[in-house]
Chains A and B, each alone.
Chain A
Amino acid sequence: MREPNGTPRIGVYVCHCGTNIASTVDVAAVRDAAESLPGVVLSRDYKYMCSDPGQELIKHDIAEFGLERVVVASCSPCLHEETFRGAVGEGGINPYFFQMVNIREHDSWVHRDIAAATAKANDLIRAAVRRVRFHEPLEPRRVPIDPRVMVVGGGIAGIHAALTLANAGKQVYLVEREPSIGGHMAMFDKTFPTLDCAACILTPKMTQVRAHPNIQIMTMSEVEEVSGFVGDYRVRVKHHPRFVIEDACVGCLECIDACVFRNGKTPDEFNLGLSKRKPIYIPFPQAVPQVVVIDPEACIEFRAGCRKKTCVEVCAERNAIDFQQEVTYDEVTVGAIILATGFQAFEASRLPQYGYGRLDAVYTALEVERLVNASGPTEGSIVLRDGSTPTSIGIIHCIGSRDKNTNEYCSRVCCMYSLKLAHLLKEKTDAEIYEFYIDMRTPGKGFEEFYNRVEEEGVHFIRGKVADVYPEAGNTGRVVLQAEDTLAGMVRKIPVDMVVLATGLEPQPDAEDVRRTFNITCGSGGFFTERHPKLAPVSTFTDGVFLAGACQGPKDIPDTVAQAGAAAAEALALIDAGHIELEPNTAFVVEERCSGCRTCVGMCPFSAISIVDGKAVINEVLCKGCGTCVAACPSGAIRQNLFEDEEIFEEILGVLTHV
């Protein structure tokens, strides 16, 4: 076993972090205990080690006292390891002659007992002091970075991120599962609180995406597999067949008229089944790309063989229809990935008491967005399933939000879109509108003002959650909303013609698969987890993978766009540098100890190890620094920078040695 080179002079710094650490850990006692450890020539405590004066202290002491190793006991290395390494480097010694001890997240914040927390801090510092003696001088690894970026999801988040990057001159692949980009925003009628028409503000951006020379749109496509690392991600994309050749189709839509189906028979996805479409269709008038798509489930060519093939006939020499198309794959290399995979609306039938799917009068908010939209199934007039126009409407908030039985979180947008729908429905029908809410949440620019406006328009607000929706007696076609009015202290039963369920936002049904594919994490609600809730809101723990929009958590359009811009900027900052610096924690072989047994070769998930002339050789570029081979080597011939066996054995001894 190696010995430390001489006895390096070690400095220990114990951070108070204001009172975050100092209130649970006796920092003075910890400082004194550290001072008596072998090799420690100086031990200090300081209010904020990460502050400029704190860092200056380290630099000063390195010069003044000839420190050769530095240990800082403060927060998690995820937060400030880089900070302190920087200070140590500027102080004039190798930045890796440093070890950080986590006495905040792992100690003062999770324990109450001062004696126990102080003992734990002492143990952890002792481990670090023992370990740091073995540290070797290292240099960060520099690897080149591919300047291309992939954006996954073509909703407003993905569109904005892709445009931002493309405008900066970067090549972008925009991957979208549906036949058109646009996402949920394309389905909305107006947007709160300004009542801009969603299509009017979205479609110009969609057109820009289509026209942009730096953006390659891949619709009906999904990411199948991701390998590689930051700077060099290999992404395998699966393209589902559209049965129409994108480059050949001019979007004349003559084939739709020519289809042997006189009328559509298939529920139209874009209108949430409120209308029907033909087997050959365009998702919505402003779809990008302006290319039709054939649904093989509905087209009789696929089921029985269509003798006429009227669509092919009318397409004539353009020859865009291709029934033989199959699934294809592409493999692209990118330096960074932005995930903008969005959300799904809460499935309202999961709460049977509200009658969705059972009572004709009950709609989800997204369905109502389509109903009020001029290009929707009723061309913007509010016609119910029974053909009537409502004279009274109840809107129920928090369907699938703020509910222990479904989702505990607030979906953030429902109060505001409910107000918007109340306004639009009032405008179109002059119906009496009742909003049943738990709390009105309108914390945004112009939101409270909009709430006041809708209230002045005569919408009724009832504070209480509806318990039951049931048909009115006497077969009137109306339904009764029963709720406890918690302000008036009484139970109300209000008969209405139409019920709107303000459904919350949930992660996409396959968010778990996406998470796995991109090797990121999900929080308890199932949304993707950002690297830090405050300071790294668009990064993930996987370097080079960023988040934008509702896949990270429920948010409205302004926040989504802001986040998409931020994700694009982060990706840009990463790739524009041309190279990245990685932790030098790679493994290497001590040749004279290697017996060439090949145990390590099969251990490496990155195929970084090969046997050359009977000895293992590790390719440093391919090695990601997991250390699995180090643990497996029966001769102890493989070492890992920053995680040497000796360093870990010293830590074990350190936490177990009471002095």
Chain B
Amino acid sequence: MSDQQKILEEVTGSEYKFGFTTDVEMEVAPAGLTEDTIRFISAKKEEPAYFLEWRLKAFRHWKKMTEPHWGYFKYDPIDYQVQSYYAAPKQMPKKASMDEVDPEVRKTFEKLGISLQEQKRLSGVAVDAVFDSVSVGTTFQKQLRDVGVIFCSMSEAIREHPDLIQKYLGSVVPYSDNFFAALNSAVFSDGSFAYVPKGVHCPMELSTYFRMNAQNTGQFERTLIIADEGAYVSYLEGCTAPMRDKNQLHAAVVELIALDRGEVKYSTVQNWFPGDKDGKGGVFNFVTKRGLCAGHHSRISWTQVETGSAITWKYPSVILKGDHSHGEFYSVAVTNNHQQADTGTKMQHLGKNCKSRIVAKTISAGKSNSSYRGLVRVAKNADNARNYTQCDSLLVGDKCGAHTFPYIEVKNKSAQVEHEATTSKIGEDQIFYCNQRGIGTEEAVSLIVNGYCREVLNQLPMEFAVEAQKLLSVSLEGSVG
């Protein structure tokens, strides 16, 4: 075995770094999924009646649907009756300040390198921390409230802002949309809600750190972000999950809405447990993310850096409904060992003079498979639609695969749709060149990979770009030409 191969094996075989669990007393719903489960969740969360009704409708619809298996990956059918659908740390009544949060919970967050302490204020990030299913602490609420921004947990929004919830929740991703969206609508336990009112430029990056902790609980969070007319908001989602033997199901729904001249930027850094090096365990990440450019001159942009999960099934999309609206999708997806990712985007051009841009970079290493699946659809009345798509694949080693499935449907003659795709390998020449300058092979791969992803990383807010860069280095540090 060559040195480079050895390093590759070592690194790609490295253990997941965030595999620790927190010892807190949990309140867990009995396993299984019936209407009673949903009533239990709804009651636990003290939801108004209107919301329970919505959940039940979703559940009844879900029962009629079948699990989709068209993605470019394989998994055994999931038994939805053995999972528990609700887990919350006990001794939980609302905290007046961060100091009251269970020290064990706080330690977990600290290990992840996020601090809920006051120092966080200095970096200007408001964190709504989701620990398993319940939001344990929300910072900065007051500063945000002063400018009229609502940023709170979804449970709170359901209780406190029923008008906004009833108007917008499910308006972009209806519960009938797909199997996992329906499941999410029925059982979701928490998530984040943000509303930025007319003309307000949200003064800080909003952020949530998700973490799955209890065994055998799926996490189904639900996020809704609304930028009203002329408003701007940037939202960051970061995720880590501790090591688990059994696959954990994660089926989130994220909805973004931008009204006239409104703008939403949504950034994700995801490093959920990908399973061990033999492909055992890991998170199933089946997520529906969609944004609606509802108003004219509105903009929605998705940026994602995905290094985790055993299986990723995720297509953050934009519906360009308002005239002159913009949709963007920037993605880096890294797969290693036995990970499988089928991810991409959909850009639906409905309004006139809309533009969309897709930059998707996949990196495959180990025995993994990574697929880009993207749809660009231009409707009959969507005059002057412009789309630019760039898909690049980087292969590390010779046992992995990269696949591209672009779909283009154009029904309007004035459309201009461009698609570029490249596949490359990290070259021995590149590695040797770095080596000759005193840069070791692991460091060289990290440098080359970060260079390859730069266009996407540049879209992330500064501190998250740094974190993402570190994540990439951890995920695959060695390589062969």
Do they bind each other?
A: no
On A, residues with C-beta under 8 Å from B are none
On B, residues with C-beta under 8 Å from A are none
